[in-house]
């Protein structure tokens, strides 16, 4: 009797356990709430990103160089000082001109003395000729001597005037444009030579600047000369709002236009381009900038918000599609990218619902609860 009761008791004991297992299997997995948008057709413009540097245009720099061997009498500016066009920058003393001034003055005195003597001689001979004590030929010789002496006096005075004018013109060097002093290489009392390598001051016109940037050969073919662009200095936010580097703070992009795009040399991987500022800028030469250049534009192509594309694997971007009430991870091929949208070359069709929020942890088949954005 006891032996026959054992199987019955075992069945009764197992029945509650089976019932709980069945309940767990039938419980529904909670749906993940997500926000979706439809794949839409629209227009998108590509951009070429690069790092550039602000550089000066030809003629935007000026070096103060002595016109001849000299000694510096005065230097009016220091590094960083602003300069107005026409301001005196450096005054010189010219030992050679000072010596020449002495020589010229002596020459004038000698010529004046000769003129005085020639006039006296002419006056005496004129009286003698009247008295019949001198010949007409002697009088002619005296007149020729006076004319020669007066000619030498005019020459001596002209030489003295030229030396004085040269001294006055070269004594001071003035700024040819509004700018800023970037270097001061000499002080008062220094002897200087008339050579570019012995400059006293260097100026720069900060308004005469451009951006020089290096882009890949492939990217250089994506835009044309005259294309618009934007630049943001290092330490500022990139055009479109994306951070160019972690050290950059918010700044307003400066508008640019492509000036040149040289044909790359055979085998070259990069090419150097120049961009002009559309408006005056406070960016100083030597400033590194992040550059974005407007490139090709495509119309009526499938677009999705940039946040919808998952790039856990850079080689295979993925978009989560709302397939009914479950998630479907679908590989896609992407094209152009701007600050807000990404072009989908393949993998999606216009009108499909894609998950834009709550999708980062979804797997294939995960139940979802769909909400509009």
Q: What's the average pLDDT block by block, 10 residues per block, for the chain (373 residues)?
A: 49 52 57 92 93 89 89 91 93 71 78 85 78 77 84 83 64 89 92 91 89 94 93 62 39 88 90 91 86 93 94 89 92 91 94 91 90 68
CATH number (domain holding residue 74): 2.40.50.100
Q: Are residues 320 and 357 in the same domain?
A: yes
146 and 51, same structural domain?
A: no
Residue 123: what pLDDT?
82
Q: List the Cα angle 293/295/300 in 5-degree steps.
A: 140
Distance CA 373, CA 369 (A): 13
Q: What is the pLDDT of residue 239?
A: 40
Residue 29 lies in a domain: no
What local confidence, expressed as pLDDT, does residue 275 receive?
95
Clarify whether residues 210 and 358 are in a common domain: yes
Same domain, 196 and 210: no
Indicate whether 30 belongs to any domain. no
CA nearest 231: which of 19, 45, 48?
48
Assess whether 289 and 328 both reside in one domain. Answer: yes
Residue 148 sits in the same domain as residue 195: yes
One domain for residues 233 and 248: yes
In this structure, the number of other CB atoms found within 10 A of the CB of residue 279 comes to: 7
Whether 52 and 87 map to the same domain: the answer is no
CA distances from 308 to 177, 204, 355, 356 (A): 54, 49, 6, 5
Q: How many domains does the chain have?
A: 2
For residue 9, the model assigns a pLDDT of 46
Quote the tokens at residue 48.
Answer: 């070429």
Which pLDDT belongs to residue 250? 44
Q: Report if residue 237 sits inside a domain.
A: yes
In terms of domains, do 155 and 274 share one? no
What is the domain range of residue 265?
A: 43-57+206-371
Residue with tokens 């950059």: 248
């Amino acid at each position: 009797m006891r032996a026959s009761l054992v199987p019955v008791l075992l069945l009764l004991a197992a029945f509650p356990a089976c019932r709980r297992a069945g309940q767990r299997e039938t419980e529904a997995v909670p749906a993940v709430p997500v926000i979706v948008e439809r794949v839409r057709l629209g227009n998108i413009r590509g951009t070429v990103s690069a790092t550039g540097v602000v550089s000066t245009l030809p003629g935007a720099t000026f070096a103060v160089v002595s016109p001849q061997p000299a000694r510096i009498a005065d230097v009016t500016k220091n590094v960083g000082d602003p300069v107005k066009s026409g301001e005196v920058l450096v005054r010189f003393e010219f030992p050679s001109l000072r010596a020449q001034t002495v020589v010229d003055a002596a020459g004038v005195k000698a010529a004046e003395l000769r003129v005085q003597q020639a006039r006296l001689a002419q006056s005496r001979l004129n009286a003698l000729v009247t008295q019949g004590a001198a010949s007409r030929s002697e009088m002619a010789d005296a007149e020729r001597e006076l004319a020669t002496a007066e000619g030498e006096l005019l020459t001596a005075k002209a030489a003295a005037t030229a030396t004085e004018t040269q001294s006055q013109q070269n004594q001071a060097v003035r700024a040819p444009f509004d700018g800023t002093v970037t270097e001061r290489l000499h002080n008062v009392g220094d002897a200087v030579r008339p050579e570019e390598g012995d400059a006293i001051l260097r100026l720069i016109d900060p308004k005469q600047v451009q951006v020089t940037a290096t882009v890949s050969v492939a990217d250089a073919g994506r835009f044309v000369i005259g294309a618009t662009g934007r630049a943001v200095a290092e330490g500022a936010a990139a055009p479109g709002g994306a951070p160019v580097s972690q050290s950059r703070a918010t700044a307003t992009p400066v508008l640019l236009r492509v000036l040149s795009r040289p044909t790359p040399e055979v085998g070259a991987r990069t090419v150097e381009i120049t961009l002009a500022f559309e408006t005056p800028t406070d960016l100083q030469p030597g400033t590194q900038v992040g550059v974005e250049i407007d490139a090709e534009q495509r119309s009526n192509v499938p677009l999705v918000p940039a946040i919808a594309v998952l790039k856990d694997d850079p080689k295979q971007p993925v978009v989560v599609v709302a397939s009914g009430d479950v998630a479907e991870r679908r590989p896609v091929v992407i094209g152009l990218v701007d600050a807000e949208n990404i072009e989908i070359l393949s993998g999606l069709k216009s009108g499909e619902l894609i998950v834009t929020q709550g999708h980062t942890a979804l797997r294939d088949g995960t139940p979802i609860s769909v909400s509009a954005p």
